[in-house]
Amino acid sequence: MNRTRVFITGMGITSSLGEGVAAHLDALKSNRTGIRPLGLFTVSGGNLFPAGEIAGFRAPAGIPRTHALALATARQAVPAGAVPDAIILGTTTGGMPSTEESLRKGETGPDAYRLHSTSSVAELLAAETGCTGPVMTVTTACSSGTAAIKLALELLRNGMARRVLAGGADALCRLTYYGFNSLQLIDPAGARPLDRARRGMSVAEGAGMIMLEAAGSPPPGAIAELLGAGLSCDAYHPAAPHPEGDGARAAMTRAIEDAGVRAADIGYINLHGTGTTDNDLAEARAIRALFGETVPPVSSIKGATGHSLAAAGAIEAVVCAMALRDGIIPANTGCTEPDPALGVMPLLAPLEKKPALVLSNSFGFGGNNACLVMSGPDAAREEPSRTPLFRFEAVSSACMTGAGDTEQTIAAIIEGKKCRGLLPLADISAKLPPREVRRLKRLPRLVISLAMEASGIAGSAAKPSSIFFGTGWGPLSETHDFLSKLFESGEQFTSPTDFVGSVHNAPAGQAAIWLKATGANLTVTGGDSSFEQALLAAALAAGEGEALLVMGADEHHEVLSPLFDASVRAGGPSSDGGGALCLRKSGAPAGVTIAPLFYRGSRNNRDVISALIESAGGAGVITKKYAAIFAGMPAGNRQECESRLNQLITATGFTGPVIDYRGLTGEFASASAVAAALAVRFAARGEIPAPVTGGASCPLAGKGILMLGLGEFITAVEITA
């Protein structure tokens, strides 16, 4: 019996080596480097270091550079006439290249920032390709592109799509260029991975895209097969790797096990290999621990391309597919004298050989690790039998709003009060040791507090090993403070602490350190559906029986929030907060359960509400199964949301209470995480209080709660007891 396998049927690549597979094949065979003096923007004196800039690439007017790189590369990867069922993209910069210029010029019109969000890159790809299915954005720093491919693999394995476009894209910008320099991680001579004299990395830009297709046997035009992928978290330090490479080894081991192969079968390892002293040493130790004395050929291409951050892993996935198809294993460009302390010998020249299996490594800030295993497409294989598990047992829930923590929020609701507003910073972190959070700003304190409360309620029996975090805008305070200091000083001074804290996955990385959670650690961004993305990512990537945290949180920033978020501009008191659920993935969950039911784009998708109703079992099932609807209707597109809600109510004849939960929580991207945490509490009590329904209390009487997102993406989440 043929089972689902996943093949690469199209690929695109853009880096400092050029545009397209042919240009990269030629460059890798010649062992050339694309690292050169920066010309994209002017930098202050004493700060000019070589970078992996794509010479001659120009973004169209009105399109940020990251978006343009993603679009150009996707056009290479998507076969003519093909429409992907889903798009999953890794990025860290999003619209930052354009946002920096607008902030520097003091522009206050929101149109200048309409493509700021990291999620807007994948959303633009969806509009370009006609994709109306799930669109997800992973932002786990330098492992983003590889982690995105992992989620795409699981989406295909679970039968939720037949064809997925996956990859990563990042453009050079001041935030990353000056940020890595502030950490003293830039090699002024250009990156020299694994070299005895290495001094750091070279910041770069680029994009890598692969079209993944599910099939029982190799489809026409198959380039390679994606066999498996593994995720882990160091839970050690916000920016430095575990010195023994424990997290890296765990991710490699999980990828190999997921692929159903042995370490001894690997014929080539594409190293993360940034050229920094600590990263190269930690990765080498992890490889020696896993492979012993029989390390296969290894190399890093970052001495050729530079380190393109979220794009790096996706670019390297394409290079690995080229190795499998074209029989070229790239050299470790930039290395002339390998460091004997590493105990691994990188390839100093390209090797003309077609490996049977390749392992590709990507590691990022926050200790986020992701690895892939690939082979040629023609090997006879049978995928192990897999049972989709999308329902979770809700062990505990916690939330934080303008009214306070979970109990304070519920007490305020029962008294008929709103939970909107901004909790003072001291109150957010009141239960955390002041000394240990003194350098942390608003969003990481909020996330850590939520994580500690939810895991504390769950107790030792459900200690979370993985964290899935959704945020619409990430750490705004750190981003604003870093750029403000940079511009105010004439681009002479920056804050390394703010740079490390500015990446979207920094709060989840901090939570992992506090909880010592060494499983998967994924941060996703999707505007008002960021929490729902996190829940779907958990359903795809968490293991059966595993305890995990699914979280969503956003902070309000008085300058940036109104510029970025249309719902914040639409009015109402400034608000922020978040929610956290401690869950256990189980085929037979007990007590309160939660499950993602639906996730589709609304743009050019006139039948999306009909599809939602069908996915829930039909109109009759909805009226019989659910006692209440929690409706997410962001103020930024309120009219369209109300129209969609009315369409659903009319089609189903639903007569139960419909709770417009943003009226309680206020307007912020992750308000649905608060709604989910409250819904879990109400399900456990068996009743929704009267102040929530706006009328009489609503006994659930064995029925569930249907939580809907009705904005740019239409989502449905089911909570039952």
- List, in order, residues 6 or more apart from 539 with CB less than 8 Å away: 389, 390, 392, 585, 595, 596
| Whether pLDDT at 164 is above 50 | yes
| Whether pLDDT at 384 is above 60 | no
Residue 251 lies in a domain: yes
- List, in order, residues 6 or more apart from 384 with CB less than 8 Å away: 3, 260
Is-contact 548 542, C-beta < 8 A? yes
Q: Does one domain contain both 492 and 585?
A: yes
Residue 185 lies in a domain: yes
- Active-site choice (67, 116, 242, 272): 272
Residue 381 lies in a domain: no
Q: Of 329, 345, 375, at which residue does a domain stop?
A: 375
pLDDT band at 75 (very low <50, low <70, confident <90, very high): very high
pLDDT value of position 383 = 60
Q: Does one domain contain both 573 and 654?
A: yes
| Whether pLDDT at 460 is above 90 | no
Q: Domain residues for 163?
A: 5-375
Q: Count how many domains the chain has.
A: 2
Q: Does one domain contain both 333 and 403?
A: no
Q: Judging by beta carbons within 10 Å of its beta carbon (0-12, 13-18, 19+), is residue 655 exposed, middle or buried?
A: exposed
| Whether pLDDT at 192 is above 70 | yes
Residue 382 lies in a domain: no
Region 666-683: mean pLDDT is: 98
272 assigned to active site: yes
Q: Does one domain contain both 302 and 191?
A: yes
Q: Does one domain contain both 400 and 348?
A: no
Handedness of CA 293, 296, 297, 303 (dihedral sign): negative
- Active-site choice (67, 116, 307, 504): 307
Region 456-480: mean pLDDT is: 94
Per-residue pLDDT tens over the stretch 341-355:
999 999 999 999 999
pLDDT band at 364 (very low <50, low <70, confident <90, very high): very high
Q: At what angle do helices 476-488 and 442-458 cross, to 10 degrees?
A: 160
307 assigned to active site: yes
Tokens of 327: 């029989």
To the nearest whole percent, how much of the chain has pLDDT over 70?
98
Helix (H, G, I), strand (E, B) or coil at 538: helix
Q: Using the 8-state DSSP alphabet, how is residue 382 labeled? A: -
Residue 234 lies in a domain: yes
Q: Does one domain contain both 370 and 400?
A: no
Across 100-104, 243-247, 379-383, 622-626, least confident range: 379-383
Q: Does one domain contain both 366 and 416?
A: no
- Active-site choice (24, 131, 142, 698): 142
Q: Does one domain contain both 358 and 409?
A: no
Q: Of 375, 407, 436, at which residue does a domain stop?
A: 375
pLDDT value of position 1 = 36
Q: Of 375, 403, 436, at which residue does a domain stop?
A: 375
Q: Does one domain contain both 408 and 366?
A: no
| Whether pLDDT at 385 is above 80 | no
Q: Does one domain contain both 418 and 469?
A: yes
- List, in order, residues 6 or more apart from 407 with CB less than 8 Å away: none
pLDDT value of position 47 = 86
Q: Does one domain contain both 222 and 248?
A: yes
Distances (CA, A) of 104 to 31, 92, 99, 491, 493: 39, 20, 8, 11, 15
38-77 residues labelled b (16+ CB within 10 A) or e (exposed):
bebeebeeeeebbbbbbeebebeeebbbbbbbbbbbbebb
Residue 385 lies in a domain: no
Across 54-58, 86-90, 492-496, 585-589, least confident range: 585-589
pTM: 0.97
Q: Does one domain contain both 330 and 424?
A: no
- List, in order, residues 6 or more apart from 15 with CB less than 8 Å away: 24, 34, 52, 54, 204, 205, 206, 207, 208, 305, 306, 308, 311, 315
Check which CATH number belongs to the domain holding 9 and give it: 3.40.47.10
Residue 383 lies in a domain: no
pLDDT band at 276 (very low <50, low <70, confident <90, very high): very high
Per-residue pLDDT tens over the stretch 386-430:
555 678 999 999 999 999 999 999 999 999 999 999 999 999 999
| Whether pLDDT at 81 is above 90 | no
Residue 660 lies in a domain: yes
